[in-house]
Amino acid sequence: MRFGPVWPLQTPTPTPTETATEVATDIGGLLPFDIPMWVVNIGESLIVVALAIILSRILVRLLGRRVARQFRRPSLTRTALRGIRAGVYIFALLTILNIYGLQLGDIALSVTVFTAVVGVVLAPILGGLISGVFLLADQPFEIGDMIELVDTGQRGFVEDITLRHTKIFTLDNTFLVIPNGEIRQRDVVNYSAEDARTRLSLDVMVTYESDIAAARTLIEAAAREVDNVISGGPDIRVGAARYPASPTVYINEFADHGVLLTLRYWVTEPYKLLAARSRVQTNVWRRLEDADVEIAYPHSHLYFDDTSGEMNVSLTNGLGGLDGVDRSQTVTGDSPVPPRQDPDELGDE
């Protein structure tokens, strides 16, 4: 007895639609209706997002103090904590993509193609991020420092430093956001770097007839009366140089109109420089007003003698411009003044 070819019994492979329906039915459990797979995917994605938010907050609370002790700089601490949050969110994103059937290899290929296509667009962004890294490494200023942009003269406090931009809270109660790539190319004055004490100067010109010694003493005393001006103490060291802490007046220049005195004084905090300078100038004016000291102002004295030569004098009869004829006549010191002419005769000429 001969038998024909025997074919193995094959179970038909379920289609993705059938598998999705079965999974959805299993998840539904005892529900009398089937749950669509897209609803399940959305629910799982929301759960992953919620877990990512909760996990990021827990990690920031647990690691915040340790990171702060490790870096000891607010800007680096905030950047590290942002990196922790970003890592948790990236992991959550990969998990959500896996829920929808996207594997890591497919994601890497898609990212590579996308980067190659929009590389020109991403170049400025990557440049800004690199500038932010160098800005955090160079440490030209820190969060809370008072800085000034030299080109615009704007002053303010550094509110935040990220990898993309630096946020400055100006003294005019406004926010100034500058990309890191731009602020690294600008001249920035840091008034709070390491030592908050700041030295200011004031030029006062007095006449040659004034008592210079008394003027110097009065100006120094006027500066000491201001609250946030350092009145004395040990010398202040700046690099290898040392400067007197108390207000000091120097004779700067013997100028054309008087003696130029320069007052140099230190203030304890750089946050109200204009107010401190105004109070010092007010005290200087008040003390010099009642003393034998006169503040100089530009003035000139003209002297004429026998060696001065001839002086040209221009005389005008007041009728210039009536008929376009110039009525002024120039005479020397030895020439007689011409007689006044009749206006009617001038009109007939």
pLDDT in tens, 157-183: 888 888 788 899 888 888 898 888 888
The reply to whether 157 and 205 lie within a common domain is no
Predicted confidence at residue 204, as pLDDT, reads 93
Asked, for residue 328, whether it belongs to a domain, the answer is no
Asked, for residue 327, whether it belongs to a domain, the answer is no
The reply to whether 184 and 213 lie within a common domain is no
Most confident of 68-77, 158-167, 280-289: 280-289
The reply to whether 224 and 168 lie within a common domain is no
Asked, for residue 9, whether it belongs to a domain, the answer is no
Least confident of 68-72, 76-80, 188-192, 197-201: 68-72
Q: What is the mean pLDDT of the chain?
A: 75
Q: What CATH number is associated with residue 245?
A: 3.30.70.100
Asked, for residue 116, whether it belongs to a domain, the answer is no
Q: What CATH number is associated with residue 179?
A: 2.30.30.60
The reply to whether 47 and 78 lie within a common domain is yes
- Inform me whether the pLDDT recorded for 11 exceeds 50: no
Predicted confidence at residue 69, as pLDDT, reads 73
- Inform me whether the pLDDT recorded for 316 exceeds 50: yes
Question: Other C-beta atoms within 10 Å of 108: how many?
Answer: 10
Question: Other C-beta atoms within 10 Å of 49: how many?
Answer: 15
Asked, for residue 13, whether it belongs to a domain, the answer is no
- How many whole angstroms separate alpha carbon 176 and alpha carbon 158? 9
Least confident of 97-101, 118-122, 178-182: 118-122
Predicted confidence at residue 172, as pLDDT, reads 84
Angle between helix 119-138 and 74-99 (nearest 10): 150
State whether residue 345 is helix, strand or coil.
helix
- In total, how many domains does the chain have? 3
Asked, for residue 44, whether it belongs to a domain, the answer is yes
Confidence of residue 18 (pLDDT cuts 50, 70, 90): very low
Give DSSP secondary structure letters for 221-268: HHHHTSTTB----SPEEETTEEE-SS-EEEEEEE-SSSEEEEEEEEES
- Inform me whether the pLDDT recorded for 335 exceeds 60: no
Max CA distance (Å), the chain: 163
Asked, for residue 15, whether it belongs to a domain, the answer is no
Least confident of 159-163, 207-211, 301-305: 301-305
| C-alpha closest to that of 303 among 313, 311, 295 | 311
Please, are residues 14 and 22 in contact by the beta-carbon 8 Å criterion?
A: yes
What is the edge-to-edge ordering of all strands in the sheet holding 154-161?
175-179, 165-170, 154-161, 146-149, 188-190
Tokens for 78, please give them.
């905030």
Give DSSP secondary structure letters for 86-152: HHHHHHHHHHHHHHTT--HHHHHHHHHHHHHHSHHHHHHHHHHHHHHHHHHHH-S--TT-EEEETTT
Tokens for 16, please give them.
């993705």
The reply to whether 204 and 281 lie within a common domain is yes
Residue that terminates a domain, selected from 157, 173, 190: 190
The reply to whether 202 and 283 lie within a common domain is yes
The reply to whether 202 and 271 lie within a common domain is yes
The reply to whether 159 and 209 lie within a common domain is no
- Inform me whether the pLDDT recorded for 229 exceeds 60: yes
CA 177 to chain CA centroid, Å, is: 8
Asked, for residue 14, whether it belongs to a domain, the answer is no
High-pLDDT (> 70) share of the chain, % = 67
Which residues lie below 8 Å from residue 276, measured CB to CB, with a gap of 6+?
Answer: 200, 226, 228, 229, 267
- Domain span at residue 79? 37-102
- Inform me whether the pLDDT recorded for 226 exceeds 80: yes
List of long-range contacts for 97-106, beta carbons under 8 Å, 24+ apart: 99/41, 99/44, 99/45, 99/48, 100/41
11/207: higher pLDDT: 207
- Inform me whether the pLDDT recorded for 320 exceeds 80: no
The reply to whether 211 and 259 lie within a common domain is yes
Please, are residues 227 and 172 in contact by the beta-carbon 8 Å criterion?
A: no
Please, are residues 24 and 43 in contact by the beta-carbon 8 Å criterion?
A: no
- How many whole angstroms separate alpha carbon 23 and alpha carbon 95? 19
The reply to whether 278 and 221 lie within a common domain is yes
